[in-house]
Amino acid sequence: MRLHSMKLQKMGPLAADHPLVGNESCPACRLSFWTGDYVTLVSIGPGDDEEARARARAGRPYDAVALLVHWACATGEIYD
């Protein structure tokens, strides 16, 4: 299995009117997203798209399925 490193993009802080705030939970820690949280997308693979799967197997770029998680859940970094 070949793993690819990926630089995560830190996004946020989430504004009070962001659609995630109070409506969605982080799949890593299961806590809700709140105002002021920083988040990132974590790629989990090609999903069920056959073309994306073939590209992944060939080591070529593909559109990946990703999960939105708290920045701290993805990196361990604590933020103010």
Residue 78: its pLDDT value, please?
A: 80
Strands (E), the chain: 39-45, 65-70
Q: Is the pLDDT of residue 63 over 60?
A: yes
For residue range 3-15, what is the model confidence (pLDDT) as tens digits? 455 689 999 999 9
The reply to whether the predicted model has a pTM over 0.75 is yes
Q: Is the pLDDT of residue 77 over 80?
A: yes
Residue 3: its pLDDT value, please?
A: 46
Strands (E), 11-76: 39-45, 65-70
Delimit the domains of the chain by residue range: 1-73
DSSP string, 29-41: T-PBP-TT--EEE
Amino acid identity at 36: G
| Cβ atoms within 10 Å, residue 74 | 19
Q: What is the dihedral of CA 57, 58, 61, 65, to 10 degrees?
A: -10
